[in-house]
Amino acid sequence: MSELHTKTLTELAGLLQDGTVTVTEAVEACLSRIEATEPSVRALITVTADEARTQAAAMDAQGPDPAKPLWGVPVVLKDLLTTRGTRTTCASKILENFVPFYDATSVTRLREAGAVVIGKANMDEFAMGSSTENSAFFQTGNPWDVERVPGGSSGGSGASVAAGQCFAALGTDTGGSIRLPASFCGIVGLKPTYGRVSRYGLIAYGSSLDQIGPMTRSVEDAARVLQVIAGHDPRDSTSVDVPVPDYLSGLGRESLDGVTIGLPREYWGEGLDPEVEAACRAAVAKAEALGATTVPVSLSLTDYAIATYYIIAMAEASSNLSRFDGVRFGHRSEGAEELIDMYTASRTEGFGDEVQRRIIMGTYVLSSGYYDAYYNKAAKVRRLLRQDFDTALTQCDLIAGPVCPTTAFKAGAKADPLQMYLMDIFTISLNLAGLPGMSLPVGLGSDSGMPVGLQLMGRPFEEATMLSVAACLECNLDPMPQPAL
């Protein structure tokens, strides 16, 4: 079974259930893949090999459990999801040695469904970034070309899935951090509707924007993971109590007859790399050939999305990160004599540059005198952006566009933070509106040879529609190759 890592989660889950593969074999296949690829990819901050092996042996002794849809499936978690007894760092020095005493709800649900956690993935520190270069520990390479970034902030999760180190990973998406690395790494990444998946145990960045979602090698795999993690949680007051549909039942469709796809003109024009545009247009043409109708729509406030998002995200971050004071959590500076000095020194030593920049900016936009000019204004634009989406989604079932203007860039190429923020132009509006979206790999760019993702965006809680259209497209597009690692 040396090729086990090339299988999808769906295939592996079947082999585990019918006893063709043992959990130990699945875990060992992932651990050897990690050993072979980590020297160049560096996707993982922590590998939980011992725990995974012990758990695998115990599960094999019991035998397959058909009631557990992910029985024996090795998974990776972004390192901002709390894991009981396993270090959870947010890729930050301030939490370098933080060992939580509870699991995040999404992690509990994965474990209850039989999944085996084999590692915690690298990320931009506190999920702030678009390339995973902001990790305080090390950079992650894109499995397609390790000189290039895997995207961010869930870059470790994306790279791990693409490199075949695991069969699914969880990421989080505050402004694109699932969709962007999925696009850059050539895998499927889904950001659910705000409130669809519990955020309990997710170390918060922008609480009104963050959502946890699956990153996988196929659409069906994403549906299976979402099925497990979705649903109301009394421990998260923003999780919504609406029934979770059967995401798998809609997947077999053979045509896209009756589906209307909106193409926002603001997403298909200026600034889009020709190779990205070509690959995305070819995928849309395939959707049309399969029976879908396309209509032009407008997301007219797209130009304001970056400013709006960064004001709101930084404001929320400055508040969320105030808990890291060197007293209750994480790193404490030695040697400060006074309490205030100790706070200052702990935070100065513990937080990286990008995190400090955002805390300063966030505090500024929330300060009296500037609150109305910035934060309040941004909150109003946010409401208008949602109206834009609502209007567009009365004209179509789904909106389609690129995930990012470019394919994966070289590490170090976007040293200017503002250049980096521009990478989020097509992803952040969706978070401000709270709607679901996903990235579907649609081929390789003709210049760079790097993966291109098509973004699908849907109505609230209509992940099932998005998944069924994506699955039909996936099945009819040329199969996505795997990186030659």
CB nearer to ligand GLN: give 152 or 164.
152
Using CB under 6 A, pick the residue from 74, 176, 181, 458 that binds ligand GLN: 176
| Least distance CB 111 / ligand GLN (angstroms) | 24
Using CB under 6 A, pick the residue from 100, 119, 150, 175 that binds ligand GLN: 175
| Interface mask toward ligand GLN for 374-413; x: CB under 6 A | ----------------------------------------
| Least distance CB 127 / ligand GLN (angstroms) | 4
How many Cβ atoms from other residues are within 10 Å of residue 252's Cβ? 11
User: Is residue 165 involved in binding ligand GLN (CB under 6 A)?
Assistant: no
Among 217, 171, 275, which residue's Cα sits nearest to residue 483? 217
Q: Which of 153, 157, 183, 198 is catalytic?
A: 153
CB nearer to ligand GLN: give 343 or 409.
409
| Least distance CB 203 / ligand GLN (angstroms) | 12
Using CB under 6 A, pick the residue from 105, 130, 216, 320 that binds ligand GLN: 130
Backbone torsions φ then ψ of 464, nearest 5 degrees:
-60, -40
- How far is the C-alpha of 468 from the C-alpha of 452, rounded, in Å? 20
User: Is residue 212 involved in binding ligand GLN (CB under 6 A)?
Assistant: no
CB 192, CB 211: distance < 8 Å: yes
Using CB under 6 A, pick the residue from 9, 128, 378, 393 that binds ligand GLN: 128
Q: Which stretch binds ligand GLN (CB under 6 A): 98-106, 128-136, 280-288, 333-341?
A: 128-136
User: Is residue 158 involved in binding ligand GLN (CB under 6 A)?
Assistant: no
User: Is residue 129 involved in binding ligand GLN (CB under 6 A)?
Assistant: yes
CB nearer to ligand GLN: give 210 or 388.
210
| Least distance CB 18 / ligand GLN (angstroms) | 38
b/e per residue, 69-107, with b = 16+ CB within 10 A?
bbbbbbbbbbbbbbbeebbbbbbbbbbbebebeebbbbb
Using CB under 6 A, pick the residue from 140, 177, 320, 407 that binds ligand GLN: 177
User: Is residue 171 involved in binding ligand GLN (CB under 6 A)?
Assistant: no
User: Is residue 157 involved in binding ligand GLN (CB under 6 A)?
Assistant: no
Binding positions for ligand GLN, 297-356, rule CB under 6 A: 313
| Least distance CB 107 / ligand GLN (angstroms) | 18
User: Is residue 153 involved in binding ligand GLN (CB under 6 A)?
Assistant: yes
Instruction: Indicate if 153 belongs to the active site.
Output: yes
| Least distance CB 158 / ligand GLN (angstroms) | 12
**Identity at 266, one-letter amino acid code:** E
Just list the catalytic residues: 78, 153, 177
- Note the residues at the interface with ligand GLN (CB under 6 A): 127-130, 153, 173-177, 205, 313, 424
